[in-house]
């Protein structure tokens, strides 16, 4: 198999220090294994190690598989740019915005995109008033991925418990109006949406265990939608992705409720494990894992060289 990555010096960044460290290691090793099998020369670096950047090879390209804080929020992107190292995916500004779910939603609201109402809450909030205004809510840290710290709340007592759980992350917490309906995700690759996926968790919602532990979640890809519905969903996902400053590749999560599509968030470094959704969408579009990585590389180099 011949790709643009064959015989290249490539670095896969993984691990780090976020709550998603273990998932990042799995993503990074999955990517590194595929790249090695395609003939690339691979350096695997865990960014939690002191002085890791000193082990970056000369003239390397970095595949960033760091999920969450430190890897998906603009920090690693700023560092790599200061070192003159080209890297995969979104730049510092788009990464920072998309990592903050609340700020992303404010951008979408300003543009008239459909997204559930929300409020930032803390221990001083009038939780009864929050429930009165929003109804049942999803409570989540504003800058964690993989559904870390997320839970539903339908009344004041459950909202208190959900706030305490989400607050363990150490970042601000948001309460988002709960959308009753089906969950979908659309991967974006080099300005094109891939086939959408319908997510059918066996548990109450697509939480961390449903993603990475239980293995009971079902996925329908392409999603069982009519052609016009798919086109509308893909168009909305692409517009939301680009409006948030995201680049090259990523994933947009949505719900379809009684009032139609509702945007939830953008993932700029989605998982690339055996359970991950972007490889599933790429496969539905006829792409192998190495094809997907090659496209991420080509798109990233277009962005980095044009910066």
Write the pLDDT tens digit of every residue in 214-255. 466 899 999 999 999 999 999 999 999 999 999 999 999 999
pLDDT at residue 4 in the model: 83
Topology of domain 97-113+180-284, per CATH? D-amino Acid Aminotransferase; Chain A, domain 1 (3.30.470)
**pLDDT greater than 90 at residue 146:** no
pLDDT at residue 305 in the model: 86
Structure tokens at 148: 């870390």
Arithmetic mean of pLDDT over the chain? 93
Q: What percent of the chain has pLDDT over 70?
A: 93
Architecture of domain 9-89: 3-Layer(aba) Sandwich (3.40)
Contacts of 84 (CB under 8 A, 6+ apart): none
Rg (CA), the chain: 19
Architecture of domain 118-177: 2-Layer Sandwich (3.30)
Contacts of 56 (CB under 8 A, 6+ apart): 11, 43, 45, 62, 83, 85
Q: What percent of the chain has pLDDT over 90?
A: 85
What average pLDDT score do residues 292-296 get? Answer: 97
- Residue ranges per structural domain of the chain: 9-89, 97-113+180-284, 118-177
- Tallying the residues shown for the chain, one arrives at 307
Residue 72 DSSP class: S
| Rounded Cα gap, residues 259 and 154, in angstroms | 20
Least-confidence region, from 60-69, 133-142, 157-166, 209-218: 209-218
Provide the annotated active-site residues: 20, 146, 212, 251, 253, 265, 267, 271
Q: Which residues are bridge partners to 187 per DSSP?
A: 251
């Amino acid at each position: 198999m011949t790709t643009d990555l064959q015989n290249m010096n490539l670095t896969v960044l993984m691990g780090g220090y976020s709550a998603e460290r273990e998932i990042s290691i799995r993503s990074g090793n999955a990517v590194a294994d595929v790249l090695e099998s395609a003939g690339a020369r691979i350096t695997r670096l865990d960014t939690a190690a002191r002085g890791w950047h000193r082990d970056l090879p000369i003239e390397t390209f970095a595949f960033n598989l760091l999920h969450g804080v430190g890897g998906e929020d603009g920090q690693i992107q700023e560092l790599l740019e200061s070192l003159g190292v080209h890297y995969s995916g979104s730049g510092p500004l788009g990464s920072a915005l998309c990592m903050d779910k609340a700020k992303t939603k404010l951008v979408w609201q300003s543009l008239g995109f459909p997204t559930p109402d929300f409020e930032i809450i803390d221990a001083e909030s009038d939780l009864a008033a929050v429930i009165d205004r929003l109804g049942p809510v999803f409570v989540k840290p504003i800058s964690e991925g993989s559904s870390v710290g997320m839970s539903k709340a339908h009344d004041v007592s459950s909202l208190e418990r959900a706030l305490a759980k989400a607050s363990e992350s150490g970042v601000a917490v948001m309460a988002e109006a709960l959308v009753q309906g089906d969950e979908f995700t659309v991967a974006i690759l080099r300005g094109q949406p891939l086939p959408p996926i319908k997510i059918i968790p066996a548990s109450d919602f697509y939480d961390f265990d449903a993603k990475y532990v239980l293995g009971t979640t079902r996925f329908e890809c392409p999603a069982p939608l009519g052609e016009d519905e798919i086109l509308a969903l893909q168009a909305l996902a692409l517009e939301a992705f680009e409006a948030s400053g995201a680049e090259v590749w990523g994933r947009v999560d949505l719900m379809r409720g009684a009032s139609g599509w509702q945007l939830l968030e953008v993932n700029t470094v989605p998982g690339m494990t055996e359970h991950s959704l972007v490889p599933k969408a790429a496969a539905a579009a006829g792409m192998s894992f190495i094809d997907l990585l090659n496209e991420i590389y080509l798109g990233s180099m277009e962005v980095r060289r044009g910066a």
